[in-house]
Structure 1
Amino acid sequence: MEGTSLYLPIVVLLMQCSPSVPVTVSTNRPKVEVEEFSDAVLSCTFRTERDQNPRIEWKKKGKDVSFVYFNGHFRGPFDGRATIDGATVTLHKVTQEDAGEYRCEISASLDTVSLGETNITLKVLVPPHTPSCEIPSAAVTGSVVQLRCQDQQSIPPATYSWFKDNRPMSPPRHANATYLINSHTGVLEFKAVAKEDTGRYSCLASNGVGTPKMCEGKHMTIEDVNVTAVVTTVLVVFLIIAVLGCGGLALHRNGFFTRHRGRSFWISQCHGVAHISSQTLHRTEDTSNVNYIPPPQEPQDFKHTQSFML
Structure 2
Amino acid sequence: IGLTLVILPLFFFLGLTKGLKITSTNQPMVEKAQGEKVTLPCTFTVSQEDLGPLDVEWVLIPTDNQKKEQTIIMYSVDRIYNDYYEAMNGRVQFTNPDPRSGDGSIDILNLKSADTGTYQCRVKKAPGVESQKIQLTVLVKPARTKCYIEGSQETGRDLTLKCVSQEGSPLLSYNWRKLTGTEELPATSLLNKDTGELSLKNVSEEYSGTYSCVAANRIGTDDCFVVLNVTPRKYLLYSSFCKIRNFCNRKKQEDVPPPKSRTSTARSYIGSNRSSLGSMSPSNMEGYAKTPYNQVPSEDFERSPGQNPNFPPSKVAAPNLNRMGAVPVMIPAQSKDGSIV
TM-score (norm 2): 0.53
Q: Percent identity?
A: 25
In 1: Cα distance, 2:161 partner to 2:113 partner? 30
Verify: 1:221 aligned to 2:230, yes or no: yes
Name the SS for the 1:143 alignment partner.
coil
In 1: Cα distance, 2:147 partner to 2:239 partner? 32
Aligned ranges 1:187-266 → 2 under 5 Å = 187-210=197-220, 212-224=221-233, 226-227=235-236, 229=238
Verify: 1:119 aligned to 2:133, yes or no: yes
Which position in structure 2 is the counterpart of 1:57?
Answer: 57
Name the SS for the 1:223 alignment partner.
coil
Give the superposed CA RMSD.
Answer: 3.1
Aligned ranges 1:1-310 → 2 under 5 Å = 21-25=18-22, 27-28=24-25, 29-49=27-47, 50-51=49-50, 53-62=53-62, 63=64, 64=67, 65-70=69-74, 71=76, 72-74=80-82, 75-77=84-86, 78-84=88-94, 85=96, 86-111=103-128, 115-135=129-149, 138-166=152-180, 169=184, 177-210=187-220, 212-224=221-233, 226-227=235-236, 229=238
**Contact 1:193–1:222 (Cα < 8 Å) also in 2:** no
Superposed displacement of residue 120, structure 1: 0.9
Name the SS for the 2:143 alignment partner.
coil
Superposed displacement of residue 43, structure 1: 0.3
Superposed displacement of residue 169, structure 1: 4.5
**Contact 2:19–2:50 (Cα < 8 Å) also in 1:** no
Superposed displacement of residue 232, structure 1: 9.7
Alignment length, in residue pairs?
A: 207
Which position in structure 2 is the counterpart of 1:260?
Answer: none
Deviations for 1:187-225, whole angstroms, at most 9, x for unmatched residues?
000132233222222212222424x32214323214246
**Contact 1:142–1:192 (Cα < 8 Å) also in 2:** yes
In 1: Cα distance, 2:237 partner to 2:113 partner? 59
Which position in structure 1 is the counterpart of 2:289?
Answer: none
**Contact 1:26–1:117 (Cα < 8 Å) also in 2:** no
In 2: Cα distance, 1:201 partner to 1:106 partner? 56
Deviations for 1:48-89, whole angstroms, at most 9, x for unmatched residues?
452154321110022431001234312223343322122101
